């Protein structure tokens, strides 16, 4: 069927559902039906404050948000419906020098999207905006592109535009059931008992999206809170236009509304609200005024705008709004039901996000794939355990305050911790592990000794853990280190068609002898990289796929969806095994004392894997290296994992091997020039841009998914990945920092850090292909802008640590 002709049902007539409907209509989809249980906008959209702020935490999210500015320009003339949009400019006010650094970093990122933040001192602010108390401020950023809109009018314009393009909108039609057969939503049932058949369902149910998901067996981890603002009496002397003010430490925003000021809060102790506590069809919900609750923020508001003290409050508004565990939207196709999409959990940014979210969702539904890299907001980043109500309720309180909190490098949530621990957790803690959470797993970030830091101390300068990572990296290089790798996803693919299936979805040749390990990619039909993984052939008809812990659900989904035509089983066994990395020059010596098999290179070559006995336990040993040293990954059934670890630990001292954490691993992988999916590579990059052609077998019999597009890509590439070293400074390289050549912006960083074995500050970045140095041009002067300062960069022709990979193969 032509994807445009699919029968698409959108559930929810708020800003997000209406924008999705509008954009599907614009794409020319003739069979779109939007169902709203009450009236349009009667959920949360009617009472939003209407701030439209395009500058977000990353480039892709900024792109998504920035589209709102484009849409409001066109939709008014297209529909004749005003939206009330006003470009007022916006101020980000802060008392903290660290926050200024953070804002400067965000501003540099925004520049790449055409948003130009201007910085001013507290004194300058006071002169330009005398109503604002500037005396306790460290400074401010002004963004001319900030603005505000009338949410209901925006929704009405979207509805009008959608209808004009053939979308049917039915109000007072609630969805009470979703019929799912063999993992596919076949129809929805309405509260009048009508059954409507469909090809696609899009859940835009706002805070009700969790319950709508339950109707189909889809996890939608979000929860509502009571979200509030107060509106003052008119202030005659209020300057026009009044900029949207964000008082970062006060956790509040102040915007204008018809000559009055609106003060809204993102408090540290948000009040959860259970949508099941009222009738399903309750609409235009408002809650009781809770003055005690907002008092600290009101005080902060009076401090910021002293005029508040003498002006009355005309209205106290508390309505429900849903937040997600990581304060990022939930978008995309669900893993549980193939044709069920979600666009919900807007974290109080749903009005400003709705144009971009609706456009992206429409493209996603029609193309079957996200139109840009939206991994940050993809609902598949969450696992079923993340929908646990206890976890969600605890985390959501933190998620609300997270909107205005500092976004420190390596920032960890305080709530919802210790949900998944490896069997080694206690032992690692005894050994000094400082834990951080990834995909719900507690992972040792580093192992503190003596007076080394036993907790993260956040900052935008030298990181507190650098000296520890330096010690661990040097120990690894000199003798060796043990790494906890249990969170890696372990996916078995087995059955009569296992070879054929993986040959089809992998770029590399995986039809290798049993025991071989293959590094490969999986591509989409446009040759974008959907997955980067290690494949071990464990039997004639069985493979073990190892991927990152964060992409577990997405990777399984990719394999299942793209290998449907094959007779295979896909089994997720991540939680059954622990994995220990034993790496470094002495790793072989240590393991040989415990292993029944020769570990000599000639007997057990690099990139092979076998079941052996170590410490009286059968386990899978794979000779691999992610840190550039000779080493092993031991995959051990959980029941035996602790005893194996203890026996290995007992030998460590003799071989001068100690524990090392995730941060050391990260430093070492940069030095080796290894890439991370989600940073250096993703659906928008092809293997050639990332120099991963070595993992592609174009002549593989039968071809593979993405090959056709790849063949066309033997053309020049518009961007190319380069590894850089900082010239003469110690910058904190993270990601999304702009890169310049001869003063011209040519690209952005994807990740960065320090390599302690080489003493280099390193980052990866994509730059315009024309600017990639030729063989003799590595002396060209590149620069990176970090927090407003330019640092010189030198492009490296190869990875700085053991570029030939000799150490891994000894």
Ligand X SMILES: Cc1cc2nc3c(=O)[nH]c(=O)nc-3n(C[C@H](O)[C@H](O)[C@H](O)COP(=O)(O)OP(=O)(O)OC[C@H]3O[C@@H](n4cnc5c(N)ncnc54)[C@H](O)[C@@H]3O)c2cc1C
d(CA 666, CA 354): 36
Q: C-alpha distances in angstroms, 794 versus 152, 720, 727, 800?
A: 52, 15, 6, 12
Identify which range of 314-322, 459-467, 701-709, 781-789 contacts ligand X by CB under 6 A: 314-322
- Cα radius of gyration rounded to whole Å, the chain: 27
Stretch that binds ligand X, among 201-209, 488-496, 582-590, 645-653 (CB under 6 A): 201-209
Do residues 604 and 504 touch, judged by C-beta distance below 8 A?
no
Q: Does 10 sit near ligand X (CB under 6 A)?
A: no
The residue length of the chain stands at 810
- Is 487 among the residues that bind ligand X (CB under 6 A)? no
Which pair of tokens denotes residue 553? 């659900």
Of 60, 348, 520, 689, the one binding ligand X by CB under 6 A: 348
Structure tokens at 287: 């809650």
Say if residue 307 is exposed, middle or buried (CB neighbours under 10 Å; 0-12, 13-18, 19+). middle
Q: Which is nearer to ligand X, 275 or 417 (CB)?
A: 275
Residues 6+ apart with CB under 8 A from 808: 606, 625, 628, 629, 630, 631, 802
User: In the complex with ligand X, which residue's Cβ is closer, 13 or 110?
Assistant: 13
Among 85, 92, 208, 266, binds ligand X (CB under 6 A): 208
In angstroms, give the least distance from the CB of 263 to ligand X.
11
Decide if residue 396 touches ligand X (CB under 6 A).
no
Candidate segments 10-18, 266-274, 372-380, 717-725, binder of ligand X by CB under 6 A: 10-18
3-class SS string, 462-522: CCCCHHHHHHHHHHHHHCCEEEECCCCEEEEEECCCHHHHHHHHCCCCCCCCCCEEEEEEE
- Are 241 and 146 spatial neighbours (Cβ–Cβ below 8 Å)? no
Q: Which residues inside 32-71 make contact with ligand X, applying CB under 6 A?
A: 35-38, 42-45, 47-51
**29 versus 152: smaller Cβ distance to ligand X:** 152
Binding ligand X (rule: CB under 6 A), the pick from 8, 9, 10, 16 is: 16
Q: Which residue among 75, 107, 175, 481 contacts ligand X (CB under 6 A)?
A: 175
Interacting span for ligand X (CB under 6 A) from 202-210, 370-378, 594-602, 801-809: 202-210
Nearer to ligand X, 133 or 318 (CB): 318
Residue carrying the six token digits 């040293």 = 629
Is 90 one of the binding residues for ligand X (CB under 6 A)?
no
Judged by CB under 6 A, the stretch of 124-132, 345-353, 387-395, 422-430 that binds ligand X is 345-353
- Cβ 456 vs Cβ 436: under 8 Å: yes
> Exactly one of 161, 243, 350, 765 binds ligand X (CB under 6 A); which one?
350
User: Rounded to whole angstroms, how far apart are CA atoms 142 and 257?
Assistant: 20
Q: Least distance in Å: CB of 171 to ligand X?
A: 9
CB of 149 to ligand X, least distance (A): 8
Residues contacting residue 112 through CB under 8 Å, at least 6 positions apart = 59, 736, 738, 745, 748
Q: Which stretch binds ligand X (CB under 6 A): 343-351, 643-651, 666-674, 788-796?
A: 343-351
83 binds ligand X (CB under 6 A): no
Among 8, 9, 10, 11, binds ligand X (CB under 6 A): 11
In the complex with ligand X, which residue's Cβ is closer, 34 or 559? 34
Site string for ligand X, 238-267 (x = CB under 6 A): --------------------------x---
Residues that contact ligand X, how many (by CB under 6 A): 41
How far apart, in whole angstroms, are the C-alpha atoms of residue 561 and residue 627?
Answer: 32
Q: Which of 453, 414, 451, 407 is nearest to 436 (CA)?
A: 414
- Return the residue of 256, 267, 321, 680 that touches ligand X, per CB under 6 A: 321
Residues 161 and 75 sit within 8 Å (Cβ to Cβ) = yes
Q: How far is the CB of 34 from ligand X (least distance, A)?
A: 9
Does the protein bind ligand X through residue 634 (CB under 6 A)?
Answer: no
- Residue 529: its H or E element: strand 529-539
Is the CB of 397 or the CB of 583 nearer to ligand X? 397
Does 285 bind ligand X (CB under 6 A)? Our answer is: no
Residues 6+ apart with CB under 8 A from 533: 519, 520, 521, 522, 545, 546, 547, 555
Write out 733-757 in H/E/C secondary structure: CCCCCEEEECCEEEEEEEEEEEECC
Determine, following the binding rule CB under 6 A, whether residue 297 of this chain makes contact with ligand X. no
Signed CA dihedral, 269, 416, 646, 471: sign only: negative
Nearer Cβ to ligand X (43/631): 43
Say whether residue 469 binds ligand X (CB under 6 A).
Answer: no
Positions touching ligand X (CB under 6 A) are 11-17, 35-38, 42-45, 47-51, 174-175, 204-206, 208, 212, 227-229, 264, 317, 319, 321, 344, 346, 348-352
């Amino acid at each position: 069927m032509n994807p445009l002709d699919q029968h698409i049902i959108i559930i929810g007539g708020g800003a997000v559902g209406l924008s999705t409907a509008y954009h599907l209509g614009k794409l020319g989809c003739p069979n779109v039906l939007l169902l709203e249980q009450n009236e349009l906008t009667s959920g949360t959209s009617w009472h939003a404050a209407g701030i439209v702020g395009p500058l977000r935490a990353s480039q892709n999210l900024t792109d998504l948000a920035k589209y709102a500015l484009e849409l409001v320009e066109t939709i008014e003339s297209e529909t004749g419906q005003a939206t009330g949009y006003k470009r007022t400019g916006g101020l980000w006010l802060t008392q903290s020098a660290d926050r200024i650094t953070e804002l400067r970093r965000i501003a540099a990122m925004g520049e790449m999207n055409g948003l130009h933040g201007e910085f001013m001192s507290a004194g300058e602010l006071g002169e330009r905006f005398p109503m604002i108390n500037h005396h306790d401020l460290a400074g401010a950023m002004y963004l001319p592109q900030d603005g505000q809109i009338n949410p209901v009018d925006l929704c009405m314009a979207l509805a009008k535009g959608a209808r004009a393009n053939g979308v049917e909108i039915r109000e007072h039609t609630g969805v009470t059931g979703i019929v799912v057969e063999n993992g596919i939503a076949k129809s929805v049932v309405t509260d009048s008992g009508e059954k409507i058949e469909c090809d696609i369902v899009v859940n835009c149910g706002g805070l009700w999206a969790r319950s709508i998901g339950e109707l189909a067996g889809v996890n939608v981890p979000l929860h509502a809170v009571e979200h509030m603002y107060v509106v003052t009496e008119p202030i005659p002397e209020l300057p026009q236009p009044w900029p949207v003010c964000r008082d970062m430490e006060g956790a509040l925003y102040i915007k204008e509304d018809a000559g009055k000021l609106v003060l809204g809060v993102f408090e540290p102790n948000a009040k959860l609200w259970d949508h099941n506590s009222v009738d399903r069809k309750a609409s235009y919900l408002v809650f009781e005024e809770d003055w005690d609750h907002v008092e600290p923020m009101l005080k902060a508001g009076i401090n910021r705008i002293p005029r508040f003290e003498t002006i009355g409050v005309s209205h106290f508004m508390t309505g429900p709004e849903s937040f997600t565990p990581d304060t990022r939207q939930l978008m995309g196709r669900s893993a549980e039901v193939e044709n069920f999409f979600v666009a919900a959990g807007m974290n109080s940014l749903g009005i400003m996000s709705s144009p971009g979210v609706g456009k992206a969702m429409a493209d996603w539904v029609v193309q079957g794939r996200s139109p840009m890299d939206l991994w940050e907001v993809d609902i598949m980043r969450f696992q079923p355990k993340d929908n646990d109500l206890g976890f969600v309720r605890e985390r959501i309180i933190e998620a609300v305050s997270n909107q205005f909190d500092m976004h420190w490098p390596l920032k960890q949530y305080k709530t919802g911790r210790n949900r998944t621990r490896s069997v080694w957790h206690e032992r690692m803690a005894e050994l000094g592990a400082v834990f951080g959470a990834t995909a719900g797993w507690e992972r040792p970030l580093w192992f503190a000794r003596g007076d080394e830091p036993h907790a993260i101390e956040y900052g935008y300068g030298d990181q507190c853990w650098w000296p520890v990572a330096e010690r661990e990296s040097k120990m690894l290089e000199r003798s060796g280190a043990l790494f906890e790798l249990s969170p890696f996803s372990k996916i078995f693919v087995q059955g009569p068609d296992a070879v054929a299936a993986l040959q089809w979805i992998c770029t590399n040749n995986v039809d290798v002898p049993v025991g071989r390990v293959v590094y490969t990619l999986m591509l989409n039909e446009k040759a974008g990289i959907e997955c980067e993984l290690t494949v071990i052939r464990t039997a004639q008809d069985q493979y073990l796929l190892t991927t990152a812990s964060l992409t577990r659900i997405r990777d399984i989904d990719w394999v299942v969806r793209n290998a449907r035509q094959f007779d295979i089983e896909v089994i997720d066994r991540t939680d059954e095994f622990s994995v220990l990395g034993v790496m470094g020059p002495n790793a072989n010596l240590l393991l040989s004392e415990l292993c029944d098999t020769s570990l000599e290179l000639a007997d057990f070559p690099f990139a092979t894997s076998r079941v052996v006995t170590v410490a009286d336990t059968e386990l899978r040993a794979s000779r691999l290296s992610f840190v550039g040293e000779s080493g092993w990954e031991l995959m051990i059934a959980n029941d035996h994992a602790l005893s194996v670890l203890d026996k290995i630990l007992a030998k460590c001292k003799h071989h001068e091997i100690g524990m090392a954490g995730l941060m050391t691993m990260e430093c070492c992988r940069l030095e080796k020039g290894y890439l991370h999916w989600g940073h250096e590579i993703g659906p928008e990059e092809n293997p050639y841009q990332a120099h991963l052609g070595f993992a592609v077998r174009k002549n593989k019999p039968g071809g593979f998914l993405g090959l056709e597009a790849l063949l066309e890509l033997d053309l020049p590439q518009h961007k190319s990945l380069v590894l850089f070293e900082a010239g003469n400074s110690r910058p904190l390289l993270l990601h999304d920092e702009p890169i310049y050549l001869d003063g011209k912006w040519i690209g952005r960083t994807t990740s960065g850090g320090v390599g302690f074995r080489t003493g280099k500050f390193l980052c990866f970045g994509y730059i315009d292909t024309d600017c990639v140095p030729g063989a003799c041009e590595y002396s060209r002067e590149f620069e990176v802008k970090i927090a407003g300062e330019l640092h010189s960069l030198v492009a490296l022709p190869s990875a700085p640590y053991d570029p030939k990979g000799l150490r891994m193969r000894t």
